[in-house]
């Protein structure tokens, strides 16, 4: 992943701004409790965590990513935003990581995964890991590419062919897997199926 992102990280956010739809709605809906903890799995350049920290100033934020090159950029971006005291990063595998060892936090009030499951081979494992890192009463929020089910066929074919060039694979059985993994979950398509969003709850 470092080989892929060593160059891409410098223009990653600019190129994704207009087609990773639903990210800001996810952030606006996080609503962590006062003094709560929020983890992003697959945090990339830190863009989402910066937006979330500004939106929810009473929470503490954490991010993991498998790419140390991306984390280098994320730390620089967070420092530039003046948020280093509220956002912490660590390298980790989305499918298996020790949050206590990395951050000293056993469970998080909110965990979110934004356009990462379509890039992770063991995406079901990443979902299980995400819900497993929730504190009691916590919530995992997900947004990713949908199946373009209410958009023209030519658009779906063009988008999927373009995404495949970057090893991005929208998951047609995402909602089914969520229902199997989480005893309580809500999910909905966005923008005529361009994106899919979900919330998974832990009792």
Distance CA 120, CA 110 (A): 20
Q: In the prediction, which pLDDT does 137 show? A: 96
pLDDT value, residue 14? 41
Name the CATH topology of 2-201. Answer: Rossmann fold (3.40.50)
Instruction: Label residue 40 left, alpha or beta by phi (over 0 means left) and psi (-120 to 50 means alpha).
Output: beta
CA-closest candidate to residue 67, choices 95, 99, 42: 42
Mean pLDDT by 10 residues, the chain (203 residues): 44 50 96 98 95 98 95 96 98 97 97 96 97 97 97 96 93 97 95 97 92
Rounded to the nearest 10 degrees, what angle do helices 174-181 and 123-132 cross at? Answer: 40
Question: Is residue 122 a contact partner of residue 97, using CB atoms and an 8 Å limit?
Answer: no
What is residue 93's three-state secondary structure?
strand
- CA-to-CA distance for 113 and 170, rounded, in angstroms? 14
Q: In angstroms, what is the C-alpha Rg of the chain?
A: 16
179: left (phi over 0), alpha (psi -120 to 50) or beta: alpha
| pLDDT attached to residue 3 | 42
């Amino acid at each position: 992943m470092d080989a892929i992102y060593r160059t891409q990280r410098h223009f990653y956010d600019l190129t994704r701004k207009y087609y990773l739809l639903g990210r800001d709605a996810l952030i606006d809906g996080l609503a962590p409790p006062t003094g709560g903890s929020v983890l992003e799995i697959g945090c990339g350049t830190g863009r989402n965590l910066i937006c979330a920290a500004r939106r929810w100033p009473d929470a503490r934020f954490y991010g993991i990513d498998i790419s140390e090159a991306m984390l280098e950029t994320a730390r620089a971006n967070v420092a530039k935003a003046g948020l280093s005291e509220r956002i912490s990063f660590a390298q980790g595998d989305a499918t298996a990581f020790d949050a206590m060892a990395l951050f000293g936090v056993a469970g998080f009030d909110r965990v979110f995964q934004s356009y990462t499951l379509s890039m992770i081979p063991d995406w079901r494992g990443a979902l299980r890991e995400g819900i497993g890192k929730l504190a009691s009463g916590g919530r995992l929020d997900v947004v990713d590419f949908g199946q373009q089910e209410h958009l023209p066929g030519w658009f779906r074919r063009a988008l999927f062919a373009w995404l495949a060039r970057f090893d991005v694979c929208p998951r047609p059985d995402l909602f089914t897997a969520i229902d199997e993994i989480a005893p309580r979950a809500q999910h909905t398509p966005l923008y005529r199926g361009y994106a899919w969003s979900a919330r998974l709850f832990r009792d």
